[in-house]
Amino acid sequence: MGKQAKIEIGVGILVLFSIISLFVIAMKVSNFADMAQDRPTYTLKAHFDNIGGLKVRAPVKLSGVVIGRVASIGVDKSNYRALVTMKIDKAYQLPLDTSASILTSGLLGDQYIGLEPGGDDQYLADEDEIEMTQSALVLENLIGQLMVKLTDSGDKQ
């Protein structure tokens, strides 16, 4: 085996190792595989009074199963409410009276949108809006309500 052949084998080992590493990082460690299989989606909109800590690309869940992602978050200038657009997998058709609420996974986890299907026999189409929404729970508001309640009951006694 010549010197040149040895050098080429050495470089081959380097390239092979890095390809294996890239493959592992792409498929097993990161979400590259999920992005590659771009499944067809349709868009739904929803207005919220308060989105809390919701972020773009946050999951949209139906009974805990991820069926879509938050595509964009903005403010509707006509009514000053938060406008959230979601991309939902085409495989999942949702009834017209589906409601959406912003929930938190675990005590300190990330926020996501939970969908609750209703009983309507018509389905939401592309660019439709989910009418019934429930905002994120804001801890300060909760504490404020609790304080009001406590002082109220204190006054009555």
What stretches of the chain show up as alpha helix (H) in DSSP?
Answer: 3-24, 32-36, 139-156
Residue 11 per-residue DSSP state: H
Residue number, 57 or 149, with CB nearest to another protein: 57
Tokens of 96: 């017209």
The correct pick among 1, 2, 35, 116 for binding another protein (CB under 8 A) is 35
Smallest gap from Cβ 30 to another protein, in A, equals 4
**131: nearest Cα among 69, 57, 44, 65:** 44
Tokens of 141: 């508001």
**84: nearest Cα among 117, 64, 65, 111:** 111
Judged by CB under 8 A, does residue 72 bind another protein? no
Residue number, 24 or 147, with CB nearest to another protein: 24
Residue number, 14 or 75, with CB nearest to another protein: 14
Q: Positive or negative CA dihedral for 120, 125, 131, 132?
A: positive
Residue number, 28 or 156, with CB nearest to another protein: 28
Judged by CB under 8 A, does residue 53 bind another protein? no
What residues make contact with another protein under the rule CB under 8 A? 4, 7-8, 10-11, 13-15, 17-18, 20-22, 24-26, 28-32, 35, 57
